[in-house]
Structure 1
């Protein structure tokens, strides 16, 4: 038994012993999101279907599921006889996958099993992957080892590695080197990402810079139709959206909205929390700030012209909310979460605002800033000031939106590059 195998054995044992606590944590979370208490067997490798062979694609949650959709749909179209298996970790990601691939008979979905060989081996026997594709940087030691042992090619696609994450992997370089050795190819988003992987002893010949696939999504035709219908109900007034907010950010957003309404009483905020389990909490917070609020989930079409805040408490409608709005704030950026996808509002030609934490989208944020399409606010005062300035300068608002769209279109092309490498592996 090698030293690395011993380390994995210790890791697997500790992971197995921690399962009761993991289950308890999910049961606690299920009080707010019932999805965490369903389909438990899948997390232990028990799949309800058997596949003769499959292309296994893993994406963690909602954002990755949406970003990967063009690649998955193209694979499903060009390989109609292949079974595609999409795995996720969260109920929200699962719901998104189910919605994205309705009508695709050759696309299947299940939760990914816990990273324990007993569960992974049972799972792999059931789905028989001929290729495993992992979105971004979801590295699990046993998953990688199981694929290598069974000679299943594994591609890390749209891979990114921040300076902070690279330092973390550097601290366990012996383990990192073994994990990276299990990967057949890395499709890195940027040259900086590629160099960080290589610095961690990834084989330079197996690393390519292919760009960010998140630039390659197409806007559903229904989005603009839905937005036009919603805009009619909300009224033709200034509207801004705060999307994918995390705990602690809603307070900042609502304070900014209070300042905006001092000058523009008719202004409307669409507030969209990132996680469904927070919908009720955020609704209460909006009321505590003495705003008149309506919930999207209630589908109440009456008196929406009079509300101050519209709570986006549904799944899969974020693009619609972006389309309705004049200005977009992207959350996860005041909470040190690293931000979320700024390309969605960019594709809709919207001026973009963000908090200072954007390390998940460093290159995207830099390009949008260089193209004068993104403003970074440090607090609620700056956020309110930027929005008020843009309301007062409609030409600047329009120019920022055009700059955002141009930046989005200029960076397309990653999809074809990544597909070429995937096709070679197939």
Structure 2
């Protein structure tokens, strides 16, 4: 172990009390953090009797992005077991909703040497796949020592993240060089990864373009729309982050759209009650989606406090705002809105999805707004013009189709590293 890795491991051990405190703190708002603590330190009750292909998807976004790749792996390797690891309870729940009992699910242990070695010894994966921007030095080293091929795919790296990783210099460089393969989303991502020390980075596109709206979600979307009121205009504020709901409600206050129904879906479930309290303070008539009650004519806002229904919400709306972009959170995935043919509104802060956001705006599938005043103007214009909504929606469908194919390219890469399925 070189001195950088030794110092990193020593720092992790010093932070162990904080790790426990962090889990307890998160559990105040999300009690699920109290569950499966043993897994976070490399102890597991589940085991597979079949060869394991392991994919790590941190939370909800990465888990959804992995769906087409997991389906392709299951089709090509029917005798293997897919193991899906997460870091958050919401990611774990998303995995259960998407794949049921078809995949094993557990938490990836924290990056302690003893914990990651236990994880690998327990599951003995034939291949490991990290999605997006997960670089854990001790995990990478343990895979290297155990001769487990480890790939980073659908990799994206914003300038902000690149600067953060660069602070760790040689440690990150050594980890990147121990990866078996790196497949980036864009040329810009590839350049940043190469600058940090990754070798032979290939550009394969974004798996999220390959996510097809499930038929069940589209059927639910039609049902929701009927329940919302087929003659009402419906505005969706999707995956909103802390502080954005107030600004969105300010924007809505200036609209003149008779019967407008707004659906607000906070990004994190632990904020559902917080947003409900905000609606109450504003004196707005609202209903919770979780109540599963008919939407009253006088209802102004539906609080989307349900999990796994985002495609249905997109299918049920006229216009969608993509959260995390009005304030500097980096934005959320806009491809889902485009894939069901709905106009998307974006704030200025889209660095987490910079390439997709710019391409969608250029294609005419999305509009960018600087603040809540511009949001109000753009929304008023869109809700008044069915022709404009139709044009943007069609542009979104074409934009999504044009950028598909990453799953096939990543599969070709992985098949070169896996033994044939029998």
Instruction: State the TM-score, normalized to the length of structure 1.
Output: 0.95
Other-structure match for 1:44: 41
Other-structure match for 2:88: 90
Matched, 1:289 2:286: no
3-state SS of the aligned residue for 2:271?
Answer: helix
Other-structure match for 2:267: 274
3-state SS of the aligned residue for 2:416?
Answer: helix
Q: Distance in 1 between matches of 2:145 and 2:355?
A: 35
Displacement, 1:22? 2.0
- Out of 61, 65, 69, which is 1:63 matched to? 61
Q: Distance in 2 between matches of 1:381 and 1:225?
A: 34
Contact 2:318 2:383 (C-alpha < 8 Å) held by counterparts: no
Other-structure match for 1:150: 146
Figure out how many residues of one structure are paired with residues of the other and give that number. Answer: 416
Q: Distance in 2 between matches of 1:318 and 1:36?
A: 23
Contact 1:49 1:126 (C-alpha < 8 Å) held by counterparts: no
3-state SS of the aligned residue for 2:239?
Answer: strand
Matched, 1:218 2:212: yes
- Residues 164-207 of structure 1, C-alpha deviations (whole Å, 9 max, x = no match): 22233333321221011111111111112112222223223xx2
- Out of 160, 177, 182, which is 1:164 matched to? 160
Q: Which moved more, 1:176-185 or 1:49-58?
A: 49-58
Please show how residues 366-381 of structure 1 align to structure 2 within 5 Å.
366-381=358-373
Matched, 1:118 2:114: yes
Contact 1:177 1:201 (C-alpha < 8 Å) held by counterparts: yes
Other-structure match for 2:353: 361
Q: Distance in 1 between matches of 2:198 and 2:25?
A: 39
Matched, 1:323 2:318: no
Q: Distance in 2 between matches of 1:131 and 1:153?
A: 5
Displacement, 1:103? 4.3
- Residues 81-107 of structure 1, C-alpha deviations (whole Å, 9 max, x = no match): 112110000000000001111242xx2
Contact 2:174 2:197 (C-alpha < 8 Å) held by counterparts: no
Q: Distance in 2 between matches of 1:113 and 1:292?
A: 44
3-state SS of the aligned residue for 1:130?
Answer: strand
- Residues 295-326 of structure 1, C-alpha deviations (whole Å, 9 max, x = no match): 0011112x533210000001001111111000
Q: Distance in 1 between matches of 2:140 and 2:101?
A: 31
Displacement, 1:340? 0.6
| Unmatched runs of 5 consecutive residues or more in structure 2 | none
Displacement, 1:327? 0.3
Q: Distance in 2 between matches of 1:400 and 1:83?
A: 41
Q: Distance in 2 between matches of 1:147 and 1:323?
A: 42
- Residues 11-46 of structure 1, C-alpha deviations (whole Å, 9 max, x = no match): 222212222222222212212211111111110111
Please show how residues 181-192 of structure 1 align to structure 2 within 5 Å.
181-192=177-188
Q: Which moved more, 1:78-87 or 1:163-172?
A: 163-172
Displacement, 1:334? 1.8
Matched, 1:401 2:393: yes
3-state SS of the aligned residue for 1:405?
Answer: helix
Matched, 1:343 2:320: no
3-state SS of the aligned residue for 1:305?
Answer: coil
Q: Distance in 2 between matches of 1:321 and 1:7?
A: 47
Contact 2:4 2:170 (C-alpha < 8 Å) held by counterparts: no
| Unmatched runs of 5 consecutive residues or more in structure 1 | none
- Residues 213-237 of structure 1, C-alpha deviations (whole Å, 9 max, x = no match): 1000111111121112111211121
CA 1:171–1:11: 2 relative to 1, 3 Å: closer
Instruction: State the TM-score, normalized to the length of structure 2.
Output: 0.96
Contact 2:261 2:302 (C-alpha < 8 Å) held by counterparts: yes
Q: Distance in 2 between matches of 1:358 and 1:44?
A: 34
- Residues 120-143 of structure 1, C-alpha deviations (whole Å, 9 max, x = no match): 111111100111100011001101
Q: Distance in 2 between matches of 1:200 and 1:14?
A: 22
CA 1:103–1:118: 2 relative to 1, 3 Å: closer
Q: CA RMSD in A?
A: 1.3
Displacement, 1:48? 0.8
Other-structure match for 1:258: 253
Q: Distance in 1 between matches of 2:89 and 2:327?
A: 22
Matched, 1:18 2:15: yes
Q: Distance in 2 between matches of 1:257 and 1:385?
A: 10
Q: Distance in 2 between matches of 1:397 and 1:229?
A: 21
Other-structure match for 1:7: 4
Over 4 Å off, 4+ runs: none
